[in-house]
C-alpha cells in the first residue's frame, strides 16, 4: 500500500491509514451529532465512505456557538474530471447546503505542473478551464462559493504562503512528502500554497473563522503540516473530514486515475463509452460460469460495479441492500448488476453534462 498526495496504489487498509496518519475514525456518536444539525445523514456518512476526521467535534462546538466554519476543498487541474473526483465534491455540496456555509474551492494550477515532469503549464490551464465547469456542475451555491486559482490569485496568496513557508523546513517536507535533493524548488514550496485557503478568509475578514476541509485521505500529509503551522501564525488549526477512494474500473486496489483511460469514467464519456467500459473493464466479483454464480453467488466487496453503486450511484440503502443480497445469493448476475450501474451512471452524467453546459456562463460568478 502506498498513499501519498501523488501516488495511491496497492490494497488500501484504511484502519492502518487512520493509525499511520493519526486521524480519528468517525464513530456513531459523531454521526448522531452531525445528524442533529443536518436532520439526515448523507449516504457517504452512513456507509463510512467519509470515514475519518480531524477536530470535527471542535468544528461543531464552534458551529453551535454560532462561530460558523467555512469549507475548503480543491482540484489540481491536470486532466479530465472522472467520477472519482466528483465523489468528495458531491459530499461537500451537501455540507454546504445542510450547514449553510461558504466554500473556498482552490484550483492549484501550478501543482501538477510542478510535480509532473511532462505537463506544460499551458496544458494545465486548458484543464483548469475544463475542470471548473465540472465543479460548477456539481451544484455549489454561486453566492456562497469562491474559486481560488493559485496563479491568478497569487496577489492574495503568495504573501500568505511565504508566512507559512517560513515555518516549514526542507526536512519537514522531506519527511511529509518524500521529497529529496533532486526535487524541484517549486514542488518543495508548493505545500505552503495549499495551506493558504485554510486561513485566507480569516485574513480577509480580519477575524478567526474555523475551516473544515473535506478531502480524500491521500491529501492528509498537506493538511497535517498545515495544522502544525497555522497556530504559529495565530490561526485556528483547520478541521478535516476524509473519504476513501472510489476504486478504479479494473479492481479495488489503488484509486481511479485520470491518466489511465481504462481505470476511469470521465464526465465527458458518452453513453456508449460508459456501457463499453463497464462491460469490458469493470472488475467483477461474480463467478466464472453462470452455473457457478447461481450456486456460490458473487462477492460485492471486490465487485467494482457494486462498489460504485455504494460509493456514488445508489443513495437508497434499501435498494443497495437488495442488490447486495441478490448478488451474494447468485440471483443477480454480473451482467445484470452492470446494467443497473450503466443506467445509473448515464442518467447521472446526462444531467451533469447539461449543468456543465450551463456552467460556461457562470464561471465569472465564482471568480470575483
Q: Minimum distance between the CB of residue 224 and a copy of itself, rounded to whole angstroms?
A: 15
∠ CA 321-326-328 to the nearest 5 degrees? 95
| Residue 71 CB, nearest approach to a copy of itself (Å) | 25
Q: Which helix (H) or strand (E) holds 136?
A: helix 121-137
Bridge pairing between strands 2-4 and 7-9: antiparallel
Q: How far is the CB of 122 from a copy of itself (least distance, A)?
A: 11
Of 105, 122, 101, 104, nearest in space to 113 by CA: 122
Residue number with CB closer to a copy of itself (15 or 184): 184
Beta-carbon neighbour count of residue 144 at 10 Å?
14
152 near a copy of itself, rule: CB under 8 A = yes
State CA 168 to chain mean position distance.
26
SS3 (DSSP) at 257: coil
Give the nearer residue to a copy of itself in terms of CB position, either 160 or 218.
160
- The stretch among 58-66, 97-105, 161-169, 246-254 that binds a copy of itself (CB under 8 A) is 161-169
> Given the complex with a copy of itself, which of 168 and 282 has the nearer CB atom?
168
Of 286, 288, 283, the C-alpha closest to 297 is 286
Q: Which residue in 179, 198, 320, 323 binds a copy of itself (CB under 8 A)? A: 179
The packing angle between helices 83-99 and 28-38, to 10°, is 60
**Given candidates 28, 155, 289, 364, which one binds a copy of itself under the rule CB under 8 A?**
155
Q: Under the criterion CB under 8 A, does residue 161 sit at the interface with a copy of itself?
A: yes
Q: Is 4 in the site for a copy of itself (CB under 8 A)?
A: no
Interatomic CA distance for residues 313 and 246, integer angstroms: 12
Specify the residue, 162 or 262, whose C-beta has the smaller distance to a copy of itself.
Answer: 162
Task: In angstroms, give the least distance from the CB of 104 to a copy of itself.
Answer: 18
Q: Which of residues 113-132 bind a copy of itself (CB under 8 A)?
A: 113-114, 121
Tell the smallest beta-carbon distance from residue 313 to a copy of itself (Å).
38
Angle CA(37)–CA(45)–CA(279) in degrees, nearest 5?
145
Among 12, 157, 230, 359, binds a copy of itself (CB under 8 A): 157
Beta carbon nearer to a copy of itself, 196 or 332: 196
Using the contact rule CB under 8 A, the part of the chain among 46-54, 150-158, 260-268, 331-339 near a copy of itself is 150-158
Written as one string, the DSSP assignment of 259-328 is T-GGG--BTT--HHHHHHHHHHHS---S-SSHHHHHHH---GGG-HHHHHIIIII---HHHHHHHHHHHH
**Sites for a copy of itself among residues 186-245 (CB under 8 A):** 186-189, 191-192
Q: Which 3 state secondary structure label does DSSP give 256?
A: coil
Q: Which chain residues interact with a copy of itself by CB under 8 A? A: 110, 113-114, 121, 150-155, 157-159, 161-163, 165-174, 179-189, 191-192
Amino acid at each position: 500500500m502506498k498513499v501519498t498526495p501523488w501516488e495511491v496504489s496497492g490494497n488500501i487498509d484504511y484502519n492502518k491509514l487512520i493509525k499511520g496518519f493519526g486521524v480519528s475514525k468517525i464513530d456513531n456518536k459523531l454521526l448522531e451529532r452531525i445528524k442533529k444539525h443536518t436532520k439526515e445523514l448523507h449516504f457517504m456518512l452512513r456507509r463510512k465512505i467519509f470515514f475519518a476526521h480531524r477536530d470535527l467535534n471542535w468544528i461543531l462546538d464552534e458551529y453551535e456557538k454560532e462561530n460558523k466554519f467555512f469549507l475548503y476543498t480543491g482540484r489540481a487541474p491536470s486532466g479530465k474530471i472522472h467520477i472519482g473526483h466528483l465523489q468528495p465534491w458531491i459530499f461537500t455540496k451537501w455540507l454546504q447546503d445542510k450547514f449553510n456555509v461558504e466554500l473556498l474551492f482552490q484550483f492549484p494550477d501550478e501543482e501538477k505542473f510542478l510535480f509532473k515532469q511532462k505537463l506544460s503549464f499551458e496544458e494545465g490551464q486548458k484543464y483548469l478551464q475544463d475542470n471548473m465547469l465540472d465543479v460548477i456542475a456539481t451544484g455549489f451555491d454561486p453566492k456562497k462559493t469562491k474559486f481560488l486559482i493559485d496563479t491568478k490569485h497569487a496577489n492574495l496568496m503568495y504573501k500568505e504562503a511565504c508566512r507559512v513557508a517560513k515555518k516549514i523546513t526542507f526536512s519537514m517536507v522531506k519527511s511529509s512528502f518524500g521529497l529529496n535533493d533532486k526535487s524541484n524548488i517549486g514542488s518543495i514550496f508548493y505545500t505552503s500554497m495549499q495551506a493558504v485557503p485554510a486561513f485566507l478568509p480569516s485574513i480577509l475578514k480580519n477575524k478567526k473563522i474555523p475551516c473544515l476541509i473535506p478531502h480524500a485521505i491521500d491529501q492528509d500529509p498537506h493538511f497535517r503540516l498545515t495544522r502544525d503551522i497555522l497556530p504559529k501564525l495565530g490561526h485556528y488549526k483547520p478541521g478535516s473530514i476524509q473519504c476513501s477512494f472510489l476504486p478504479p474500473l479494473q479492481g479495488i486496489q489503488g484509486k481511479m486515475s485520470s491518466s489511465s483511460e481504462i481505470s476511469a469514467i470521465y464526465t465527458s464519456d458518452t453513453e456508449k463509452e460508459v456501457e463499453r467500459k463497464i462491460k469490458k473493464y469493470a472488475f467483477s466479483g461474480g463467478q466464472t460460469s453462470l452455473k457457478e454464480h447461481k450456486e456460490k453467488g458473487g462477492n460485492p466487496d471486490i465487485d467494482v460495479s457494486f462498489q460504485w453503486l455504494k460509493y456514488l450511484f445508489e443513495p437508497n440503502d434499501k435498494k443497495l441492500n437488495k442488490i447486495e443480497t441478490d448478488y451474494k445469493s447468485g440471483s443477480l448476475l454480473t451482467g445484470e448488476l452492470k446494467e443497473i450501474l450503466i443506467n445509473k451512471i448515464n442518467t447521472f452524467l446526462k444531467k451533469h453534462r447539461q449543468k456543465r453546459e450551463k456552467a460556461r456562463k457562470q464561471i465569472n460568478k465564482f471568480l470575483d
